[in-house]
């Protein structure tokens, strides 16, 4: 099979395409003929050797995928060859075949294309886990989303609306803010040209936001923390802008909380809640409340370009690498 290969830790430009033997499913795993795999910012971090885990070299990046089951390992009961599935992967989605644990593989609902399905698991499930289980977002609360047109950010906007919150979307360009508005954001802040804290305070009559979904961190974290009201929760989802330090006194006085949320670890520690997250997401999808946003579709040969759209901050929604013509 053809696969994108990372042979040494470094820049994504060093990734190559190679012919390699297809993986074999072990017990409890399914083998998927890949149709579409969305790239994630984390692919670049993994290739650089800076991700939470380092796969053995060489490996294929790709943290999620969608395709057709071709074989099942021993003990697999929920799937059979021919099933249309999407999956969360440890890595390996940028290849013609990928293996996924059965517990992290999900049936593609009727009406969802392979491109949408390949872009669904990481963004939607991560955002749901953060907002439902960590943020405990309540209807009528105010949710502030940073990087609101990005992969996880845009799904947090949609999920916030589905949970009944008022959503303030924050991003760096008018075009990105228009995308967030189109997906349901009630108000927007351009943090490249406006003061984030002042604007959120103005939009909330000085109460502050109840929950902030933050996949950016860096310099924005401080302003986001200041824009939280009494009992506010800030969700640490990613650090594309750098890892911030948290001044503990700013949590104490207003009964605020900073909560980490990692799909990678959550799915192993709380598989039952993961399943409930997926069930709720699939129900919302069936009701037309979630619309996966795939803005770029590239061939396997252009995988580096696909990841670069994210690291250059040029994409919104999801960028998908597709294996076959549409
Ligand atoms: N914890 C979890 O479970 C989980 C799950 C998925 C992803 N993540 C993490 O969340 C982060 C975002 O992932 P993603 O796949 O959604 O990425 P993405 O699609 O590239 O979105 C990231 C957003 O961050 C903003 N941004 C701010 N500073 C940036 C910079 N220096 N470089 C690039 N983007 C910047 C961009 O929006 P503006 O231009 O509008 O600022 C961009 O839309 C990553 O750190 C990823 O590892 C965590």
- Residue 312 placed within a domain: yes
Find the DSSP H helices in 80-173: 114-118, 126-128, 151-162
Rounded distance, CA 294 to CA 154, Å? 11
Q: Is residue 273 one of the residues assigned to a domain?
A: no
Query: Span 222-248, mean pLDDT?
Result: 96
Q: Are 301 and 314 in contact (CB under 8 A)?
A: no
The β-bridge partners of 87 are 65, 105
pTM of the model: 0.97
Query: Once rounded to an integer, what is the mean pLDDT over residues 217-228?
Result: 97
Domain membership of residue 205 as a residue range:
126-264
CATH at 213: 3.40.50.720
Do 109 and 180 have their domain in common? no
Same-domain pairing of 231 and 313: no
The answer on pLDDT for 326 being more than 50 is no
Q: Are residues 224 and 172 in the same domain?
A: yes
- Residue of the nearest CA to atom 47 in ligand 1? 42
Q: Bridge-partner residues for 6, per DSSP? A: 59
User: Is there a domain that residue 274 lies in?
Assistant: no
State the DSSP string of 157-172.
HHHHHHTT-EEEEEES
State in Å: Cα 99 to ligand 1 middle. 26
Asked if 37 and 64 touch (Cβ cutoff 8 Å), the reply is yes
Asked which of 264, 283, 303 is the last residue of a domain, the reply is 264
Is the confidence at residue 108, as pLDDT, over 70? Answer: yes
Same domain, 160 and 259: yes
* Residue 56 domain flag: yes
Residue among 218, 188, 196, 179 nearest 314 (CA): 179
Q: What are phi and psi of 7, to 5 degrees?
A: -100, -20
Question: Is residue 30 in some structural domain?
Answer: yes
User: Which residue intervals of the chain are DSSP H helices?
Assistant: 41-47, 114-118, 126-128, 151-162, 174-182, 196-203, 218-226, 249-252, 263-269, 271-286, 303-311
pLDDT digits (tens, 9 = 90+) for 128-143: 999 999 999 999 999 9
Give tens-digit pLDDT for 162-204.
999 999 999 999 999 999 999 999 999 999 999 999 999 999 9
Indicate which residue's Cα is closest to atom 24 of ligand 1: 147
**Does residue 130 sit in the same domain as residue 248?**
yes
278-288: pLDDT as tens digits = 999 999 999 99
| 319 Cα: distance to centroid of ligand 1 (angstroms) | 13
Pair 189, 92 in one domain? no
Domain identity same for 100 and 205: no
Q: Please list the residues that pair with 85 across neighbouring strands.
A: 67, 107
Does 284 map to a domain? no
Among 151, 234, 277, name the best residue to mutate to test ligand 1's pocket (greatest count of ligand atoms within 8 A of Cβ): 151
CATH number of the domain to which 90 belongs? 3.90.180.10
- Furthest-apart CA atoms within the chain: distance in Å: 60
- On the question of pLDDT at 4 being above 70, the answer is yes
The answer on 224 and 106 residing in a single domain is no
Helix (H) or strand (E) holding 71: strand 64-72
Domain count along the chain: 2
Q: Which residues lie across from 296 on neighbouring strands?
A: 319
Q: Among the atoms of ligand 1, which is closest to the Cα of residue 316?
A: 43
153 conformational bin, left if phi > 0, alpha if psi -120 to 50, beta if neither: alpha
* Mean pLDDT of all residues belonging to the chain: 97
Length of the chain: 326
Give percent of the chain above pLDDT 90.
98
Instruction: Give the separation between CA 88 and CA 99, rounded to whole angstroms.
Output: 10
Nearest CA to ligand 1 atom 11: 238
Does the pLDDT of residue 297 top 50, yes or no? yes
Q: Give a yes or no: residue 283 inside a domain.
A: no
42 plus 152 within the same structural domain: no
Q: Report the distance separating Cα 311 and Cα 152, nearest Å.
A: 14
- Give 151 Cα–ligand 1 centroid separation in angstroms: 7
Angle between helices 218-226 and 196-203 (to 10 degrees): 30
Give domain status of residue 277, yes or no: no
How far is residue 299's CA from residue 303's CA, in Å, rounded to a whole number? 7
Residues 173 and 237 in one domain: yes
Two structure tokens written together for 120: 């669904």
Q: Which residues line ligand 1 (CB under 6 A)?
A: 40-42, 122, 126, 147, 149-153, 171-172, 176, 215-216, 237-241, 261-263, 310, 313, 315
Q: Are residues 10 and 108 in the same domain?
A: yes
Whether the Cβ atoms of residue 175 and residue 197 lie closer than 8 Å to each other: no
Closest CA to 262 of 94, 106, 134: 134
pLDDT band at 52 (very low <50, low <70, confident <90, very high): confident
pLDDT confidence band for 87 (50 / 70 / 90): very high
Q: Does the pLDDT of residue 224 top 80, yes or no?
A: yes
Judgement on whether residues 155 and 239 belong to the same structural domain of the protein? yes
């Amino acid at each position: 099979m053809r696969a994108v290969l990372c042979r040494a830790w470094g820049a994504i430009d060093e990734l190559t395409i190679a012919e390699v033997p297809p993986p074999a499913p072990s017990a409890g795993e399914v083998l998927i003929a890949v149709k579409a795999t969305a790239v994630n910012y984390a692919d670049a971090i993994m290739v650089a050797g800076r991700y939470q885990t380092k796969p053995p070299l060489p490996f294929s990046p790709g943290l999620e995928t969608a395709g057709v089951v071709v074989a099942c390992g021993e003990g697999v009961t929920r799937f059979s060859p021919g099933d249309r599935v999407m999956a969360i992967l440890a890595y390996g989605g940028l290849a013609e075949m990928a293996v996924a644990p059965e517990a992290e593989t999900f049936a593609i609902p009727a009406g969802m294309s392979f491109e949408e399905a390949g872009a669904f698991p990481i963004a939607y499930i991560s955002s749901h886990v953060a907002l439902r289980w960590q943020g405990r977002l309540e209807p009528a609360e105010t949710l502030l989303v940073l990087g609101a047109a990005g992969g996880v950010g845009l799904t947090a906007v949609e999920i916030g609306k589905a949970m009944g919150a008022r959503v303030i979307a924050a991003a760096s360009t008018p075009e990105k803010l228009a995308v967030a508005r189109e997906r349901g954001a009630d108000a927007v802040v351009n943090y490249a040209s406006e003061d984030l804290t002042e604007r959120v305070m103005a939009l909330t009559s000085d109460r502050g936001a109840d929950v902030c979904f933050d996949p950016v961190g860096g310099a924005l974290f401080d302003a986001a923390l200041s824009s939280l009201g009494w009992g506010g929760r800030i969700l640490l989802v990613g650090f594309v802008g750098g890892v911030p330090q948290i001044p503990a006194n700013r949590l104490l006085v207003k009964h605020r909380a900073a909560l980490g949320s990692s799909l990678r670890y959550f799915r192993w520690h709380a598989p039952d809640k993961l399943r409930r997250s997926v069930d709720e997401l699939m129900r919302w999808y069936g009701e037309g409340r979630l619309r996966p946003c795939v803005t770029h579709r590239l061939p396997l040969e252009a995988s580096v370009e696909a990841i670069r759209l994210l690291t250059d901050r040029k994409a919104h929604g999801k960028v998908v690498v597709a294996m076959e013509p549409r």
